[in-house]
Amino acid sequence: MSKPKINERLMRLVISGLCPHEDPTEYAEELKELANAVVNVDEAERLCKTLRALADTNRIRILKLLEVREMCVCEIMIALGLTQPTASHHLRILENARLIKGRREGKWVFYKIAKPEIMRILQELDRV
């Protein structure tokens, strides 16, 4: 059994009288405009990138450590029991999502929270 086309479903909605529109094609365009006005694709992609960066235990723990103070890779490795490549991988993801930023000091790179408001968001999520 194939799925009905969205236009057919929209047509049934309009015909049912549950929808205040008479023209399903016009209504479909209005719905698309509404979706773009609420959140465009680029904005949604940026948000998804941030959420994917947060969706890992080690990355949350790294953020919590960096909330306390700046740290270099070796400190994060020791604190979390990670290998250097694993720690660097997680730091790169957080940096690409613009949640942290690095500061070079000689051979060392020290990381800190780039967006402190993200920590408030994490606290709120923890309460949910």
- Quote the pLDDT of residue 6: 62
Q: Within this chain, do residues 60 and 114 fall inside the same structural domain, yes or no?
A: yes
Assess whether 61 and 120 both reside in one domain: yes
In a domain, 70, yes or no: yes
One domain for residues 61 and 119: yes
Tell me the residue range of the domain where 97 lies. Answer: 51-127
For residue 89, is pLDDT > 90? yes
Which uninterrupted H or E stretch holds 71? strand 71-72
119 and 66 belong to one structural domain:
yes
Handedness of CA 80, 86, 87, 92 (dihedral sign): negative
Average pLDDT, the chain: 89
Same domain? For 61 and 31 the reply is no
Q: Do 105 and 60 belong to one domain?
A: yes
User: Does the structure show a pLDDT above 70 at 3?
Assistant: no
* Residue 45 placed within a domain: no
Q: Are residues 83 and 25 in the same domain?
A: no
pLDDT given for residue 4 in this prediction: 47
Please list, residue by residue across 61-79, b when 16 or more beta carbons sit within 10 angstroms of its beta carbon and e when fewer do: ebbebbeeeebbbebbbee
Query: What are 23's two structure tokens?
Result: 């023209």
Is 65 contained in some domain?
yes
